[in-house]
Amino acid sequence: MPITEIRDEGDARTRLRDFYGLEGGEAAPYVELMGLLCGLEGYPSFEKGLHRISELLWAEYRKPGMQDRPNRYSRSIINLANSAFGFMTQDNVVFAGPLGGAAFGQRVRSKVLWKDSFALGHGEFSHSYQWLTAGLVLNWGVETGQHYANVAGRMSRIPLFTKDSDGMTYRRSPLWEYLVDCTKRQGWFDNEGRLTAAVNAWSQKQSEQQNPQALGARLSSYPTANALTNETFRSANNVATLAAGKDWFISFYEARRKAVLAEAQRRGQALIDSSVVNSMKKSAAIARTRPPGMLGGDEHTPQYMGRVDQGAQRSAAHPIQGIKADRAVHYKLEKGDIYANPAKYVYEKPITDAKRVEPKGQHYLEFHGEAGFVNARTGLLM
């Protein structure tokens, strides 16, 4: 039972109406956005639009005074977004883990762009690329930021199938996820047993008992009632793959940043292994020597403790955990600048100040027919 991608503009309108209650003018920009990201007939090419965004970012990056500014690439994106597309980003914002709904919605509502620094395949700037490209080729201009902000807080009226850290799930989906952060589908998502389990788990949380026919109808809705995609640019991973696979200016930075995160993942996992995992192993070994009553109940058998221990170790070994651990050390302890925010996994610092830094080493390279200096990073050229 594979998924059915959005077929045409009418299909996009129907899904936005049925899933999110969006109609008419309220739905119009998001119908256009899906038309662009899904490559529907009659819409501009997302790839060509992203190529143009790369050209514009290369021009921003090379402007006088940019060479000795910190966060040069992020600053280029912010300058372009604020001046041409109606965004209001004032800080260098980094997400080093998945945010809670309130913290996430606050930034979208405030027209803030950010860097996603916790998953290799997702790409740190994929969402900036999606929205800037849409603003350019759909001729939204300075209205782009408002279309972006209006997504905040919108949830589907009905549950949709999607994937979370525990596998397939059936839940209400944020409009943001549905439009620009779909999970890239894998074959095992379509397994009927997994989908049935997801629907049953949802049913058990409902106050009213669900009849078998209704649950069967929900299961059969999977092909369209989902926040998944195959090859469209509604997936940030697909955007990152496109951006990294060209000879554009943004491709140069995508390769650099992926290498940075890969190294962060290695450092972070080593930190977890040396501290958290070893501590868990020691505490679990001690716990297994205690009588059941001292463990808080007879259910805490050695077998039970073993399962808990294995589950915790699997969680600690997840690739994202390594990057999260390393980024926490990087932004909280290593950076001379102060990145501070009370929200978990959010690191922010003002970027509109006049601060200058000692110019970094430079490479003289050519992109899009124009040559210029780019910041060097040891061991990374292209």
Expressed in percent and rounded to 5, the helix, strand and coil fractions of the chain are: 55, 10, 35
- The C-alpha angle 20, 21, 27, rounded to 5 degrees, equals 85
Note the pLDDT of residue 259: 75
CB 226 within 8 A of CB 160: yes
Question: 373 — phi, psi (to 5°)?
Answer: -90, 135
Single-letter amino acid code for the residue at 356: R
pLDDT at 96: 74
Query: Phi first, then psi: what are they for 228, rounded to 5°?
Result: -130, 160
Q: Collapsing DSSP states into helix, strand and coil, what is residue 347?
A: strand
Q: Rg of the Cα trace of the chain?
A: 23
Looking from the CA of 226 toward its CB, the CA atoms found within 13 Å total 31
Distance from C-alpha of 328 to C-alpha of 94, rounded to nearest angstrom: 11
How confident is the model over 14-35, as pLDDT tens digits? Answer: 999 999 999 999 999 999 999 9
Torsion, Cα of 5, 11, 16, 18 (10° steps): -100
Reported as a single tens digit per residue, the pLDDT across 52-90 is: 999 999 999 999 988 877 789 999 999 999 999 999 988
- Ranges of residues in the chain with a pLDDT under 50 are 277, 280, 294-299, 308, 312, 379-382
Strand partners, 91: 350
Domain ranges of the chain: 9-249, 250-374
Other beta carbons within 10 Å of 343: 15
Alpha helices in 139-211 (DSSP H): 144-149, 175-180, 192-204
Give residue 152's pLDDT.
Answer: 96
